[in-house]
Chains A and B, each alone.
Chain A
Amino acid sequence: MTACGGSEDGAGQGSAPKAPATIPELTKDPLTLSFVWFAWPPAQALEKFANEEYRKVRPNATIKVNTVPNANWHDAMFTQFAARKTDFDIAILDSQHIGEAVTNGNILDLTDFVKNNIDVNAYDPYLLAAYGQFPQAETGRRDENASLYGLPLLGDTWTMIYRKDLIGDQAPQTWDEMISAAQKCQTDHPGVSGLAFHQANGSDAAAVTYNTVNGVYGGNLWDAKAKKIEGVLNDAAGQEAMDVLVNRMKPLTAKGSGNWFIDEVNAAVAQGKACIAFNWIAASGGLLDPKQSTLGKSREEILGKLGFATLPKQKTDLVPLGGMGMHVSAYSAAANQAEALNFMKWFEQADIQKKWAAAGGVPSRTDAIQSPEFLNAGPFNKVYADSVPRMRDMWNVPQYARLVDIENTGVNAALNGAKKPGDALDDIAREQQAVLDASGRKGGGGL
């Protein structure tokens, strides 16, 4: 609990208190282990799954997954962290929130615990790093000397959703092919738009969209070592990506789709209004629900029309890393922290990960990802398995919330004609750089 103070720039080591290397003795009294997440189906799935399965080993424990509105997720967790008192024991942080939480000393350092209790070789190293490591790992790797502050809960990436009945069974393989297929489909089928993707200025919607295009066009979000964004994000590749997004992709989207996020894209697909769409895998389950869909009266009928594929490649093959890890609140009671550690150890076992996969979760252990339980649980799960080696994350720094807001509003402005694409990207790079540079400055920050 000696977590206050903290290093101001957060680039180096954090000030998080350490979790014990071995799990302390667990209580025999009834105990409620609380999580915090945002309101979406995986949260309900987790609560149901954990209560059914975890209680088999710990009958006196009850799992409660508190949910907040998605738009309020970061604020809700970090205001509680600020209060130095949390009503949750396990925070489900977005991978990029780790830096802020570690720097402020809000979550436990799990390095020693992981060494003693978790089989790190069972994971793709980058997944382990993305949901736990700080300072951030290089894309695709894990720094084995760096500290770990979390363990994977739910993996995720974007899937391409395409209408087999409109553009054919074969998924487009390159970004160019994808755009021309969408173009053709839109021309051939009036009333159906070529593309649907996230464009909203809330959460990380528009930012992830730009980052994805930036990735496949060989761009970089920043030079992590030099802490440089200006000149990196808006280099030639970055500008090309922005041009592709605004001038080639946006014209193929539905009119007024400039505030779409997960649910609007899903609605467009379910209503048969999009040829090709992009969405998070963990959010795609509802597409197969005949009650919400006009594409068919049964799951099979819908699957006859919808195809799920990995993202097309262009200059490179990067895809966005989504999903979240579990992190232990530094402010919850000792008994609850012990239970939280025990839960995490239990959760990361091979057979439990497979059961989690079958219950609708997206595991991170390689054996679970490759298991038939997972691959057969949903048509998009193979997409996830194939995407794992291609993933790239955003910046995991304490200033993440501001960086992503700058990018969201900038990209959203470009998509909706409020700014010219080139100017928007230059503005984003300049403002983000200012945020990184200003981290040590006194007064007037945050404007």
Chain B
Amino acid sequence: MSDAVPLTTDSSGQVATVTPPARGRSRRLSDRKLAVAFITPALLLLLAMSVFPLLWALYLSFTDYSATRGGSAGFVWFENYIAVLTSAQVHLRALTTLIYVVGAVALQTVLGFTIAYLISRRTHGRGLLTTLFLVPMMLSPVVVGLFWRFMLDAQFGVVNSMLGSLGLEQVEWLTRQRTALASLIVVDTWQWTPFIMLIALAGLTAVPRYLYEAASIDRASEWFKFRTITLPLVWPLLLIAVLFRSIEAFRLFDLVYILTSGGPGVSTETLSFHVYKVAFLGFNTGTASAYGILMVVVVIVLTQLYLRYLNKLKED
């Protein structure tokens, strides 16, 4: 595996030391060589660190291998896959994950776009505002999870304390089925709204000014301008942001691990969290690999479909 390391240093060293080849006739050849030299190290590292593990996981997913028990891996064909696909436990986690992904991504898209829109309409302090709004995104999920757990604590948390000052009832944020999942969605939204905002802002600032000016001449209403100019131009970019967030949210693990550890009961256990339990509590490596491969397949298939839809949208 570590083969990739010396190779990469070699070639990046090469960048500086390569002797200039003769001009003209050998240029085309050196272009190709250059391309290969530039791309190979990156691809090798990806092959070693991403593809190879994936293939290994693929192999393990057909076996009953356990990382702790050792011994040889017995081939069980599709038994792991069948077990995962037919398990009611897995279906339950899939539903939880679906609710979470849809809820969180929808919420942060609306909020992120709103903030970006409002910022884009300001003339002063935009840079400062943008930078401030970005802070949550820069924090580690560990820090975010820990701190929200502290703030959402029913007894000592600042959120309930403020509700109390307003004369409202305390809420059990993390220990009731519905509120716990909602809290997870809220915290994820808090952290990742800035990401959507950043992309939306990029889209908004790129809308050509003359379009607005032309619309103004026609005395078009703000809403009309928003609906016919802003939204259609930002929409494709926003959809990309949604794709990225959905993939990330689908894989969510650390926030659950720290904020609720899946509770109450198993009601906030996502698919990733469940894979973790299969992989590390019982060390059922084979089953966990099949489980993980299925998750990757789901992501790739959905992404392809989504990208195809996006391309069609662009062509229209």
Query: Measuring CB to CB, which residues of chain A are less than 8 angstroms from any residue of chain B?
Result: 3-6, 8, 71, 74-75, 78-79, 81-82, 84, 100, 103-106, 200-202, 254-259, 264, 267-268, 271, 273, 399, 401-402, 405, 409-410, 412-419, 435, 442-447
> Which among B102-110, B231-239, B242-250, B254-262 touches the partner chain?
B254-262
Q: B263 and A258: CB pair below 8 A? A: yes
Q: What are 6 residue pairs bridging A and B, where the CB atoms are less than 8 Å apart in the complex?
A: A409-B262, A413-B267, A416-B263, A418-B177, A443-B64, A445-B282
In the bound complex, what is the Cα–Cα distance between A264 and B156 (angstroms)?
A: 10
9 closest A-B pairs by beta carbon, nearest first, are: A256-B154, A444-B83, A413-B265, A446-B284, A258-B175, A443-B79, A416-B264, A443-B76, A446-B282
User: 8 additional contacts, CB 8 Å, given A6-B70, A446-B277, A446-B287?
Assistant: A8-B69, A409-B262, A409-B263, A412-B264, A418-B267, A444-B79, A445-B284, A446-B288
Contacts of A106 in B (CB 8 A): 68
Give per-residue flags for B80-108: 1 if the beta carbon is below 8 A from chain A beta carbons, else 0: 10111001011000000000000000000
> Which among B122-130, B166-174, B294-302 touches the partner chain?
B166-174
In the bound complex, what is the Cα–Cα distance between A256 and B152 (angstroms)?
A: 10
Contacts of B283 in A (CB 8 A): 78, 82, 446
Known: A256-B153, A401-B282. Contact between A71 and B265, CB under 8 A? no
Q: A258 and B172: CB pair below 8 A? A: yes
In the bound complex, what is the Cα–Cα distance between A103 and B68 (angstroms)?
A: 10
Contacts of A259 in B (CB 8 A): 174-175, 260-261, 263-264
In the bound complex, what is the Cα–Cα distance between A235 and B176 (angstroms)?
A: 28
Contacts of B287 in A (CB 8 A): 443-447
Q: B70 and A5: CB pair below 8 A? A: yes
Q: A442 and B173: CB pair below 8 A? A: no
Known: A104-B69, A201-B262, A446-B288. Contact between A75 and B280, CB under 8 A? yes
B266 within 8 A of A: yes
Closest Cβ of chain B to A178, distance in Å, is: 22
Q: B80 and A200: CB pair below 8 A? A: no
Closest Cβ of chain B to A231, distance in Å, is: 22
Contacts of A419 in B (CB 8 A): 265
User: Which of these, B70, B170, B277, B286, contacts A443 with CB under 8 Å?
Assistant: B286
Closest Cβ neighbor of B171 among chain A residues: A256
Closest Cβ neighbor of A76 among chain B residues: B280
Contacts of B284 in A (CB 8 A): 445-447
In the bound complex, what is the Cα–Cα distance between A258 and B173 (angstroms)?
A: 10
B206 within 8 A of A: no
* Chain B, interface residues (CB within 8 Å), range: 35 or more
Contacts of B79 in A (CB 8 A): 442-444
Greatest chain B CB density within 10 A among A104, A268, A416 is at A416
Q: A4 and B70: CB pair below 8 A? A: yes
Q: A444 and B265: CB pair below 8 A? A: no
Q: A447 and B87: CB pair below 8 A? A: yes
Known: A201-B263, A401-B281. Contact between A442 and B155, CB under 8 A? no
Closest Cβ neighbor of A3 among chain B residues: B70
B293 within 8 A of A: no
Q: B261 and A201: CB pair below 8 A? A: yes
Q: B176 and A416: CB pair below 8 A? A: yes
Closest Cβ of chain A to B243, distance in Å, is: 30
Closest Cβ of chain B to A208, distance in Å, is: 16
Q: B265 and A410: CB pair below 8 A? A: yes
In the bound complex, what is the Cα–Cα distance between A409 and B266 (angstroms)?
A: 6
Greatest chain A CB density within 10 A among B170, B171, B281, B284 is at B281
User: Which of these, A75, A79, A81, A445, contacts B64 with CB under 8 Å?
Assistant: A445
B74 within 8 A of A: yes
Q: B264 and A258: CB pair below 8 A? A: yes
Closest Cβ neighbor of A399 among chain B residues: B282
Q: B261 and A202: CB pair below 8 A? A: yes
Q: A418 and B71: CB pair below 8 A? A: no
Closest Cβ of chain B to A377, distance in Å, is: 30
User: Which of these, A5, A103, A200, A264, contacts B261 with CB under 8 Å?
Assistant: A200
Closest Cβ of chain B to A405, distance in Å, is: 5
Q: A256 and B68: CB pair below 8 A? A: no
Q: B263 and A447: CB pair below 8 A? A: no
- Chain B 172-201 residues near chain A, CB threshold 8 A: 172-177
In the bound complex, what is the Cα–Cα distance between A259 and B175 (angstroms)?
A: 6
Q: B261 and A417: CB pair below 8 A? A: no
User: Which of these, A257, A271, A417, contacts B176 with CB under 8 Å?
Assistant: A417
